[in-house]
Amino acid sequence: MAPNRPRWLLPLLFLATCRPAFVTLQGPSRAPSRVARRAVGLEFLRETLEAYAAARVADSPFLAEAPEAALHWGHAAAMASVYPQLVFGAFLGWQIRTGKGEESTPLGFSSRALHPLLSIGAFLFFLIGGQGGLVLLTAQKQTILDSPHAVTALLGLSLLLLQALLPIFFPSGSFIVVLMLVHGALGLSLGLSF
């Protein structure tokens, strides 16, 4: 049995450690300072992810001929399709918490059976979509990992993975759903910034 501790404590502590990335934004580029990036530990990923994205751009003839709008908003359009899945998965999670987990959904599965499938699907789509976002930013000659959108992407993926592996720390996925909604809003803001 897990010790009786407030369910909000671990996510709050985690966000408190990431706070510098959100408060040290500079100028119109909205990019955090090098100190802020180090505070959330993204620098060690930069070289590997930049090399990966550059190789995908070099290998793709589509990116050289794609319309600017497809490069600029392609990631947003593709990822917008995942949010209904995320919200429905959160709804199913609440159904389980309120004791209605065995009730059938319109898809013919119980909430208890469908929730983990949607959660795994959302994680995989976010993971694949993140790679697409890196590649499309690189194709547009933009820097990667320098925005709050990148920080929330890595934070959200990390928390989804942790939630799958360590349910004792995250008995409720509500925090992650809210984080991913903030992530979407930050992505929209990033898209509108250049």
Domain boundaries, the chain: 40-193
The C-alpha atoms of residue 152 and residue 85 are separated, in whole angstroms, by: 18
Identity at 47, one-letter amino acid code: E
CB 143 within 8 A of CB 31: yes
Q: Over 70: is that where the pLDDT of 43 sits? A: yes
CA distances from 194 to 14, 37, 67, 72 (A): 30, 21, 16, 9
Calculate ∠ Cα 26-31-34, nearest 5°.
Answer: 90
Tens digits of per-residue pLDDT, 148-165?
A: 888 888 888 887 777 666
Is pTM beyond 0.75 here?
A: no
Q: Which residue has the tokens 């360590």?
A: 166
Q: What is the mean pLDDT of the chain?
A: 76
Q: What number of other Cβ atoms are within 10 A of residue 135's Cβ?
A: 23
Joined together, the tokens standing for residue 179 give: 């984080």
Identify the band that residue 34 occupies on the pLDDT scale cut at 50, 70 and 90: low
What is d(CA 188, CA 182) in angstroms, rounded to the nearest whole number? 10
Computed on alpha carbons and rounded to an integer, the radius of gyration of the chain in Å comes to 18
Residue spans of beta strands (DSSP E) within the chain? 25-26, 31-32
